[in-house]
Structure 1
């Protein structure tokens, strides 16, 4: 379907707002970055042996992925605003597949780093552009429901990725994990080439002019409400990532399980993510985004407090060590889609660039967590639980400050956004 037709935009909107194919494709694009992290976590020990690298060097392969992932977030959206969503997605998937093949052929740790950098440079295109595409074709409660459905698919990744990695490691070796990622991205590339529509017609695109681009970034990054919403989202995401990034220590050291037992951590989390997405889907249009954000933080605070209490007063044992995590994930999924929708409505004419900036905060936060904070937290369950609670409280404070900076007198709607006194056009 071509958007050159004068009614192309309307045709895309009508087809994709309720189309399961569009939702599945966007969900797959958003999932890819999670698979690039989770699938190879069970192989850390094998990578250390095969590449003659220390555990710390293997751990830094996460940073080699996450730093370029976070930094490229600033560009994926701006590029898609200029050349279109579809072209950006196809180019990113091709580079990710190539990076996965480089990782699979690595014989030394430096080659693995190179492949992971290629993956990091490209994996974020789905997370940024996919979310912008949802907002291109839907608004208000409809967009909130669409993001909740995408969230349900995204929620499967943290559970499926390490489980798939563990199975592949048992069946073959660590190289099979990166070959799997290459096949997965190639399959997505074909599906998007075949079925993904263009949601940003040429008249609505922006030229990649350096001065105009710098001005656009400056406008977005100086928008108080947008920055607070992005930081609040980053805080929520970093809180759950204490356990995602600390999974090897959590599962194999603290719980004493093997590499095929990552499901004990990730399945409870994914159950909470799925349940939270379903709850948000049903609440959209009946409860305001700010109320879902507040409710989500109440649930997360309660879950993180229980988790810390169990870490202090109870020896590591299943199921008690993981019993609070699905509740935290439930609250997170009540919060994140609403934060995202409110943030993108701050810049209706630059949704791609705004999505880039929004997710850059999130991914740079995760990279800093991986490189700086996790070595301090991963040594004990109590520290991990305390880290989760502390980061969540910071996120709640930032969300409250964002609330104070915005006008909530009108309901969330499409273009123009509700916050007309302070939007970016």
Structure 2
């Protein structure tokens, strides 16, 4: 939770931070993009390290570095120092989400794995949704450094929880040696696999439709909707509701509804959300609550239905390299998010219709990659598509 949670806890503080540090809105947006870029780069390392050193050790080290980086952000007196420690936060923040998924697949299989991964999907969606709300509350009690002190305390609490209650799920007998040449070979093998590319891009692009609004939240909430720093809930509560309901139904459907049918249902809901969003913004003079934010529920609901299925399909392709596969999938998702936060959001967040059209384009692209995988999977036997080391999966 703490990786995505840290992305946008600071959104409500953008005006206050910009005024104190002498940074304009574009410069403040880079506190998100630099975090995501280092998050994406290090995501390629977290998984293989956990394959070699064990899951618990890597998660613990990442949490400790994140706590120190959060303290550095709280003490920053200029924009350069803040960006430096935000980058350090990004370098360490991926351990929870990336290694955590490998932990789930170490312990659970089949329908049980889908049920638990659905809960992860719900937590992953809730984290960036409640973060700006908490950030707004904290601003009511103090100035912006309080947000980073909160993140430091949050990571300390997680460190204690990991120490006391998380078992090691990757025993020494199953671990792989840290060999850069072998790691690069594994990454090239995974990244060049056409099936991995289709599944990873389907997931990254369909989540991108929601993340565009998350990354644009300061401009969307404060400038377009003309709300204040304590009213970010108007954007994020519909997202929380849709994500929670979708994750709940995905877990309940495990073993009862096929992955193909559930994915099709998820994309159908996302398509309905895109149509409502574009239609409203094309007709409205100016976006306003609640109609400008209700389509987020449908988008989030669809993402939560699809996420566990796509993720398990990728992890099951590489039973002995789940950490590496999880890392590369996360890298794909984070790279798309970094492009959205650093490039697209500053360009599009000044107009509601521009945001709606771009969000719809991401959803459409995600659906096209998913349809491509469906066509290929019907034409070719799974064993012919995957390398000999891979195990087949019936999730799609």
Give the Cα separation in 2 of the matches to 1:70 and 1:151.
Answer: 19
Deviations, residues 5-44 of structure 1 (Å, cap 9, x unaligned): xxxxxxxxxxxxxxxxxxxxxxxxxx11122112100000
Indicate the residue corresponding to 1:42 in structure 2.
Answer: 12
Asked if residue 68 in structure 1 is aligned to residue 32 in structure 2, the reply is no
Aligned partner (choices 311, 316, 320) of residue 345 of structure 1: 316
Change (3 A) 1:419 1:314: farther
Residues 1:233 and 2:197 are matched in the alignment: no
1:51 aligns with 2:21: yes
- SS of residue paired to 1:318: coil
Work out whether residues 122 and 304 of structure 2, in 8 Å CA contact, stay in contact via their aligned partners in 1: no
Rounded to whole Å, the distance in 2 between the matches of 1:57 and 1:155 is: 26
**2:339 is the counterpart of 1:368:** yes
Contact 2:114 2:254 in 1 (8 A): yes
CA distance in 1, matches of 2:314, 2:95: 18
**1:37-75 C-alpha deviation (Å, 9 max, x unpaired):** 121000000111111222221111111101000111111
Q: Match of 1:319, SS?
A: coil
**Aligned position for 1:253:** 223
Q: CA deviation at 1:155?
A: 2.9
The answer to whether 1:193 aligns with 2:140 is: no
Aligned to 1:318: 289
Partner SS state of residue 322, structure 1: coil
Matched residues in 2 for 1:372 and 1:34: separation? 19
Q: 1:282 to 1:312 in 2, by over 3 A?
A: same
Q: CA offset at residue 419 of structure 1?
A: 5.2
SS at match of 1:81: helix
What residue ranges of structure 1 are gaps of 5+ in the alignment?
A: 1-30, 411-417
Q: Superposed, which structure 2 residues align to 1:84-103 within 5 Å? A: 84-103=54-73
User: How big is the shift at 1:318?
Assistant: 1.4
* Counterpart for residue 386 of structure 2: 422
Matches within 5 A, 1:84-123: 84-123=54-93
Correspondence for 1:398: 369
Deviation at 1:216, TM superposition (A): 1.0
Answer yes or no: is 1:377 the counterpart of 2:341.
Answer: no
In structure 2, C-alpha distance between the alignment counterparts of 1:209 and 1:407, rounded to whole Å? 37
Query: Is the Cα contact below 8 Å between 2:6 and 2:128 reproduced in 1?
Result: no
How far apart, in 1, do the equivalents of 2:71 and 2:376 lie?
47
Any residues of structure 2 matched to 1:407-418 within 5 Å, and which? none
1:213 equivalent in structure 2: 183
Q: Secondary structure at the match of 1:320?
A: coil
Match of residue 23 from structure 1: none
Quote the offset at 1:405 in angstroms.
3.1
Change (3 A) 1:408 1:419: farther
TM-score, normalization by structure 1: 0.89
SS of the aligned residue for 2:317 comes to coil
Structure 1 residues 186 and 390, CA, compared in 2 at 3 Å: closer, same or farther?
Answer: same
CA distance in 2, matches of 1:61, 1:36: 11
Aligned length: 388
What is the CA-CA distance between 1:386 and the residue it aligns to? 0.3
Question: What TM-score comes out, normalization by structure 2 length?
Answer: 0.95
Shift of 1:252: 0.6
The answer as to 2:142 corresponding to 1:172 is yes
Q: Does 1:386 align with 2:357?
A: yes
Distance 1:408 1:161, change over 3 A: farther
Residue in 1 that maps onto 2:394: none
Change (3 A) 1:314 1:63: same
CA distance in 2, matches of 1:420, 1:210: 29
Query: Which residue pairs with 1:15 in the alignment?
Result: none
Aligned-residue offset at 1:152? 2.5
Q: 1:96 to 1:151 in 2, by over 3 A?
A: same
Shift of 1:362: 0.1
Distance 2:283 2:176 in 1: 56
